[in-house]
Chains A and B, each alone.
Chain A
Amino acid sequence: MKPAPFEYYVPDSIEQALDLLREHGAAARLLAGGQSLVPTMNFRVIQPEVLIDLNRVGELKYIRDDNATLHIGAMTRERELEFDPIISSRTPLLAEAMPHVAHPQIRNRGTLGGSLANADPAAELPVVMLALGARLKVRNLNAERWVDARDFFVGMFATDLAADEILVEIELPATSSHTGWSFMEVAPRAGDYALMGVAALVTLDEDRRCKQARLVYLNAGDGPLEARAAGTALEGKIPDVESIDEAADLASQKDINPFGNLHASPEFQRHLARVLTRKSLKLAIERAHEDL
């Protein structure tokens, strides 16, 4: 298995990368961590004529805390997110999800921006971005624009990015007070693609009523999938066993649309979603109580 020949460019600024992208258009692919792109090239599933390697664009690597709003450069490695104290204190949901992203050897190379632009429905990071209400900064040579995470993922391995655009930054809003979180998934082996997974973010009010509940699933549709009926059902209630069960039923039976795969039928995936929803809601609510 060897990749087909390609031309290789290694820009050292965003400007240069955008120039190359405009010059080569659809013939070019951007190389971030390469942990999904290179296997598909090794299999010759894709044969890009031009590869633009972003690994030496230093201005795409940063984690900045701006009054609790986080700004993360698109080429920040997954392993850095896993261990950065800013991430664990500001967005513990993201920190909790990181060890589930493949293996350490993969996370040493894989990047946040690369995972989001790849838009694999089985990936953890798109799910976490939706749960956190991330905004993504996208640039071409002439302009920049911001896209909400929920508008960025438009289908299986498909995003809102145009051929001349680069995802440059991810902005995570400050977490509201009285908020609890949880990330859980079920995979055949640690680091494997999960059969089902969920990110839960629950905000309570002073009276312990649920102000907002966001549940987002991986492998539950053609992209990261938010269970809106389940989330809405919880809002305004003081969460108890009954309302958590109701949300788990709604999420697993109504909201999600799993396709099944070699290891799990859609029915089994729905079963996993129900169990994971119950467990993750329970933990997220407990954590929200600790924050009251």
Chain B
Amino acid sequence: MTHSYSITVTVNGISYKRSVEARMLLSDFLRHELGLTGTHVGCEHGVCGACTILLDGESVRSCLLFAVQADGHSIKTVEGLARDKDDLHPLQQAFWEAHGLQCGYCTPGILMTLVPFLEQNPKPTEDEIRHALSGNLCRCTGYQHIVDAVRLAAEKLRD
């Protein structure tokens, strides 16, 4: 007999109240319960970084948290970055301009990793950028353009 737990979570500024099984991963909650499919699911054991989101402003793997743990917390997903499709977040704009994505599967996780990184390191060196990206796998192996995009994003965010 599986029990349901009532949770209230704020995602991209909107408060959601839902009933979930304890075993539901936060990544599945975002995708299946809230329909926010921008958060991607890759390995589901904390290695690939595709499901990275912000929990109370900090980057975390949403596949390594249960939705029930997010009760009362505030989440930001990739859907919360752009104001609309013609007004991208500077980080997204930089990825667009510098060809920082190929298939795009890893992109949402990388963007959510980089938001707090660039807040804390507005002028990162290439070494720091590569370190910051070490927890996100790009299966197209397009890292060079990703690094270029981060550099461009840092410039845009500083302006």
Contact of B59 among A35, A38, A104, A191 (CB under 8 A): A104
The answer to whether B22 and A105 touch across the interface, beta carbons within 8 angstroms, is no
A189 contacts partner chain B, Cβ-Cβ < 8 Å: yes
Contact mask A105-117 → B, CB, 8 Å, 1/0?
A: 1101100000000
- Least CB distance from B124 to A in Å reads 13
B92 contacts partner chain A, Cβ-Cβ < 8 Å: no
Task: Name the residue among A35, A38, A103, A108 with the largest chain B CB count within 10 angstroms.
Answer: A103
Contact of A105 among B23, B28, B60 (CB under 8 A): B60
List B contacts of A53 (CB < 8 A).
69
List A contacts of B59 (CB < 8 A).
104-105, 108
The answer to whether B64 and A5 touch across the interface, beta carbons within 8 angstroms, is no
Contact of B66 among A4, A8, A191 (CB under 8 A): A8
The answer to whether A104 and B135 touch across the interface, beta carbons within 8 angstroms, is yes
Contact mask A18-29 → B, CB, 8 Å, 1/0?
A: 000000000000
In the bound complex, how far is the Cα of B59 from the Cα of A105, in angstroms? Answer: 5
The answer to whether B52 and A105 touch across the interface, beta carbons within 8 angstroms, is yes
List A contacts of B52 (CB < 8 A).
105
List A contacts of B21 (CB < 8 A).
5
Known: A7-B3, A39-B64, A108-B58. A190 touches B44 (CB 8 A): no
In the bound complex, how far is the Cα of B111 from the Cα of A136, in angstroms? Answer: 39
The answer to whether B23 and A35 touch across the interface, beta carbons within 8 angstroms, is no
Contact of A42 among B2, B60, B63 (CB under 8 A): B63
Contact of A38 among B3, B46, B117, B132 (CB under 8 A): B46
The answer to whether A35 and B68 touch across the interface, beta carbons within 8 angstroms, is no
B65 contacts partner chain A, Cβ-Cβ < 8 Å: yes
Contact mask A124-158 → B, CB, 8 Å, 1/0?
A: 00000000000000000000000000000000000
List A contacts of B19 (CB < 8 A).
none
The answer to whether A2 and B131 touch across the interface, beta carbons within 8 angstroms, is no
Contact of B60 among A39, A43, A108, A189 (CB under 8 A): A108
Known: A38-B65, A191-B134. A1 touches B44 (CB 8 A): yes
The answer to whether B25 and A2 touch across the interface, beta carbons within 8 angstroms, is yes
Within A1-58, the residues touching B (CB, 8 Å) are 1-8, 10, 34-35, 38-39, 41-43, 51, 53, 55
In the bound complex, how far is the Cα of B46 from the Cα of A190, in angstroms? Answer: 15
The answer to whether B22 and A5 touch across the interface, beta carbons within 8 angstroms, is yes
List A contacts of B5 (CB < 8 A).
8
The answer to whether A103 and B2 touch across the interface, beta carbons within 8 angstroms, is no
A79 contacts partner chain B, Cβ-Cβ < 8 Å: yes
List A contacts of B45 (CB < 8 A).
1, 39, 42-43
In the bound complex, how far is the Cα of B134 from the Cα of A53, in angstroms? Answer: 29
The answer to whether A191 and B135 touch across the interface, beta carbons within 8 angstroms, is yes
The answer to whether B135 and A105 touch across the interface, beta carbons within 8 angstroms, is yes
- Least CB distance from B47 to A in Å reads 8
List B contacts of A272 (CB < 8 A).
none
Within B51-104, the residues touching A (CB, 8 Å) are 52, 55, 58-61, 63-66, 68-69
Contact of A51 among B22, B60, B113, B130 (CB under 8 A): B22
B49 contacts partner chain A, Cβ-Cβ < 8 Å: yes
List A contacts of B28 (CB < 8 A).
2
List B contacts of A1 (CB < 8 A).
44-45
- Least CB distance from A228 to B in Å reads 34
- Least CB distance from B67 to A in Å reads 11
In the bound complex, how far is the Cα of B23 from the Cα of A79, in angstroms? Answer: 26
The answer to whether B23 and A2 touch across the interface, beta carbons within 8 angstroms, is yes
List A contacts of B55 (CB < 8 A).
108
A sample of 5 inter-chain contacts (CB < 8 A) reads A1-B44, A3-B23, A5-B22, A6-B22, A106-B135
- Interface, chain B (partner A; CB < 8 A): 2-3, 5, 21-23, 25, 28, 44-46, 49, 52, 55, 58-61, 63-66, 68-69, 113, 117, 130-132, 134-135
Beyond A8-B3, A104-B135: 10 further Cβ-contacts under 8 Å? A1-B45, A2-B23, A4-B23, A8-B22, A38-B65, A104-B132, A105-B59, A106-B46, A106-B61, A109-B60
Closest 5 CB pairs of A and B: A103-B135, A8-B22, A39-B45, A190-B134, A38-B64
